[in-house]
Amino acid sequence: MASSKLIAVAFLSSLMALHAPMTTAANSNLFRDYIGAIFNGVRFTDVPINPRVRFDFILAFVIDYTTATEPPTPTNGQFNIFWQSSILTPSAVASIKQSNPNVRVAVSLGGATVNNRPVFFNITSVDSWVQNAVSSLTGIIQRYNLDGIDIDYEQFQVDPATFAECVGRLVTALKRSGVIRFASIAPFDNADVQRHYQALWASYGSVIDYVNFQFYAYSASTTEAQYVSHFDDQIANYPGGNILASFTTAPTTTSVPINTSLNACRTLQAQGKLYGIFIWAADHSRSQGFRFDTQAQELLANAPSY
- Give backbone dihedrals phi and psi of 96, rounded to 5 degrees, phi first: -70, -35
Q: How far apart are CA 265 and CA 271, in angstroms?
A: 10
CB 84 within 8 Å of CB 60: no
- Among 154, 165, 224, 298, the one annotated catalytic: 154
Which residues, listed in sequence order, are joined to residue 108 by a DSSP beta bridge?
60, 150
Taking each helix axis from N to C terminus, what angle separates 90-99 and 126-144, rounded to the nearest 10 degrees?
Answer: 60
SS3 at position 23: coil
CB 263 within 8 Å of CB 225: no
Q: How far apart are CA 267 and CA 229, in angstroms?
A: 11
Which residues, listed in sequence order, are joined to residue 55 by a DSSP beta bridge?
31, 103
70 is a catalytic site residue: no
Report the catalytic residues: 154
